[in-house]
Structures are given as structure tokens and as C-alpha cells.
Amino acid sequence: MSICPSCDASPGRPFGTKDGFSLFTCEACELTYVDPMPTTEELAEFYRDYYKTRQYRQKLDSKVRRARRRIRRVKKGMVGSRFIDVGCNVGFAVEAARQCGLQALGIDIDAVAIGEARTLFPDCRFEHSSAEAIASADQRFDVVYCSEVIEHLPNVVSFLQAIQKLVTEDGLVFITTPDLGHRSVRSNPYAGEFIRPPEHLLYFTRRSIERVMRRHGFSYIRFQRSLKPTLKVLAR
Ligand SMILES: [Zn+2]
């Protein structure tokens, strides 16, 4: 029997299979997840080649511009200027935050991406680290930015606990993730590349991300409007 990675022991109903992975949807929180999750070794193997296959450097200027628009929107509701990008990749949102006048730090568990980020954006600060490690070092931030990260994680609970520790009391966590509930996706989620294990292990809708985040300690949860199949969540 499959077990929801967010709820303690709620079984899931079959959601389908792709590339040899089975997916289930939790009856309680409606999170859709891969089960069994790949092991740490399997994920390490997968991500060893991942960086080479994804064209991270492509359209870098437009990525910085898009991140700048997003950060300006988030900044409106923000006090203070300490910004962290968790899963910063090659650092375009960190550069965007710096351009917006924030004290920006980017972290990523991918050492190659951090090396690349330091070369591309030498005026920004980057660390090869995880949300869990930075949180346990008692660092706090006014904005915790996590774009397209949460869907990759086999252990969503420790991640949510870490980012909750990272954010100040009146700060904001900003999460984006693909929207399984979007009208362009929900009628046929297996069309195209939307469902893609082991890269994406978790699939959220508005309702399920709200339930998962509430369960793990977030009380303020708001959604930004989005025309694309992307959830944009502001929370603390
Ligand atoms: Zn659940």
C-alpha cells in the first residue's frame, strides 16, 4: 500500500504510471506522488546527467528579467531585505534580487550549478548547501524563494520544516511549482511532458499544496494569479 509523503499514513488511489514509476493521489490531502520514491542513490545517478542535459544557460537574460518581475511583486508585501533562493540553480533569481536592491544569497545542493552561478554572477553570494543545513545554522531571511524545487523532493516534510525555520516571523516564503489542477493539464495530465518521474516526484494542485503546507505549520497561505499551469504561493 502506498503512503502519502505528507500525511502520516493515508493510503493513495492509483493515479497512473509513467516510465516504470507508479503515481498515487492521497485520499486525505490530494497530493499526487510517486511511490515508491526513488532511493537517494537512484536520484544521485539521475541528477549526475541532469545538469548536462538541461540548457540552464539558455535565455539567461530573459530568465533574470522574469525573476525580477516576480521578485518585485513579492517585495511589495515584504519587510526587510534578506533574500534566499533555495535551489538557485545557476543563480538568475539571485542576480534579479540583487538588482532589486536585496541582500541575496543563493543555495543549491548541486555543486556544478553553484560553480556556474559564481562564474556567471560574480557580484552575488552563493553557497553549496541545503535549506536544512542553512536553517540549522540559525540564519533567517525576509523572503525565502523556491521556484520549481518542491516537486523534485522525495522528502517534502523536512524541506517545509526547514524553509519555515528560514523565514522571519513577518517574512514570506514564495513557492512556484507546476499546477496539476490547471485547466490545460487536469483533463489529460499524461499528455506532453507534465508527468515526468523521477525528475518530478510530487504533483500539486491549489488544494493539495494548501493542505500540505497547513499540515506542516504554515498558517498564512495566498496564491498569486497565474495564467500558466504554475502555482505561485506566498506563505508563512
Ligand atoms: Zn496526504
Contacts of 234 (CB under 8 A, 6+ apart): 74, 77, 172, 173, 174, 220, 221, 222, 223, 224
End-to-end CA distance of the chain: 33
Cα-to-centroid distance, 168 and ligand 1 (Å): 27
Of residues 40, 3, 9, the one with CA closest to residue 130: 40
Of residues 137, 135, 160, 152, the one with CA closest to residue 215: 160
pLDDT recorded at residue 180: 97
Average pLDDT of the chain is 93
Q: For residue 11, is pLDDT > 90?
A: no
Cα-to-centroid distance, 234 and ligand 1 (Å): 21
**Domain residue ranges in the chain:** 12-235
Taking residues 106-134, report their average pLDDT: 95
Q: For residue 109, is pLDDT > 60?
A: yes
Q: Give the Cα separation of 46 and 93 in Å (integer).
A: 25
pLDDT recorded at residue 235: 97
Cα-to-centroid distance, 221 and ligand 1 (Å): 18
ω into 36 cis (within 30 of 0): yes
Cα-to-centroid distance, 102 and ligand 1 (Å): 36
Q: With pLDDT > 70 as the criterion, what percentage of the chain qualifies?
A: 96
Least confident of 51-55, 127-131, 133-137: 51-55
Burial class (CB in 10 A: 0-12, 13-18, 19+), 149: buried
Q: How confident is the model over 33-47, as pLDDT tens digits?
A: 999 999 989 998 888
Cα-to-centroid distance, 2 and ligand 1 (Å): 11
pLDDT recorded at residue 59: 83
pLDDT recorded at residue 51: 63
Cα-to-centroid distance, 225 and ligand 1 (Å): 25
Taking residues 125-142, report their average pLDDT: 95
Taking residues 158-182, report their average pLDDT: 96
Per-residue pLDDT band at 207 (split at 50, 70, 90): very high
What Cα–Cα distance (Å) separates residue 211 from each residue in 26, 37, 143, 180?
11, 21, 21, 15
pLDDT recorded at residue 75: 87
Cα-to-centroid distance, 44 and ligand 1 (Å): 26
Using a cut of 0.85, tell me whether the model's pTM lies above it.
Answer: yes
Q: Give the Cα separation of 210 and 143 in Å (integer).
A: 19
pLDDT recorded at residue 107: 98
Cα-to-centroid distance, 210 and ligand 1 (Å): 11
Q: Which three cell numbers stand for residue 29?
A: 490531502
pLDDT recorded at residue 2: 80
Contacts of 103 (CB under 8 A, 6+ apart): 81, 82, 83
Looking at the chain, the number of H-run helices and the number of E-run strands are 8, 11
Q: How confident is the model over 22-74, as pLDDT tens digits?
A: 999 999 999 999 999 999 899 988 888 776 555 666 788 999 999 999 999 99
Q: For residue 209, is pLDDT > 60?
A: yes
Cα-to-centroid distance, 7 and ligand 1 (Å): 4
Q: Give the Cα separation of 37 and 152 in Å (integer).
A: 11
What Cα–Cα distance (Å) separates residue 233 from each residue in 1, 98, 170, 206?
31, 22, 16, 9
What are 141's strand-pairing partners? Answer: 167
According to DSSP, the β-strands at 141-147 and 167-178 are: parallel
Cα-to-centroid distance, 203 and ligand 1 (Å): 12
Cα-to-centroid distance, 155 and ligand 1 (Å): 13
Pick the CATH number of 12-235 from 1.10.10.10, 3.90.1150.10, 3.40.50.150, 3.40.50.1110: 3.40.50.150
Q: Give the Cα separation of 116 and 207 in Å (integer).
A: 36
Cα-to-centroid distance, 216 and ligand 1 (Å): 11
Q: For residue 110, is pLDDT > 60?
A: yes
